[in-house]
């Protein structure tokens, strides 16, 4: 599964978690692994409002933002 597909799945399951009452507002966290990258929900955002390109990518080995995150940082 590509990173984009994982982002889309995370978005789908985030909305399901909210719809089923498992989380409220910014009160939940989701994450998934894509190769050497961990995708996780940003702090302070309601899960139902997240779009696929808003998941934070962290390099698992270094613990730092993945290289493409400079494109996304202005949103935060």
Q: For 37-60, what is each residue's pLDDT tens digit?
A: 999 999 888 999 999 999 999 999
Which residues, at least 6 apart from 74, have a Cβ–Cβ distance to it below 8 Å?
A: none
pTM for the predicted model, two decimal places:
0.81
Q: Are 60 and 36 in contact (CB under 8 A)?
A: yes
For residue 9, count other CB atoms closer than 10 A to its CB.
Answer: 15
What's the CA gap between 13 and 19, in Å, rounded? 10
User: If pLDDT is split at 50, 70 and 90, which confidence band does 27 have?
Assistant: confident
Q: In this predicted model, which residue has the larger pLDDT, 64 or 4?
A: 4
Q: Are 25 and 46 in contact (CB under 8 A)?
A: yes
What's the CA gap between 30 and 23, in Å, rounded? 11
């Amino acid at each position: 599964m590509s990173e984009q597909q994982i982002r889309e799945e995370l978005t789908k399951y985030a909305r399901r978690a909210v719809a089923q009452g498992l989380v409220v507002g910014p009160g939940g966290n989701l994450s998934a692994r894509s190769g050497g990258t961990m995708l996780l929900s940003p702090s302070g955002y309601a899960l139902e409002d997240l779009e696929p390109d808003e998941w934070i990518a962290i390099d698992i080995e270094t613990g730092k933002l993945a290289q493409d995150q400079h494109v996304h940082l202005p949103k935060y």
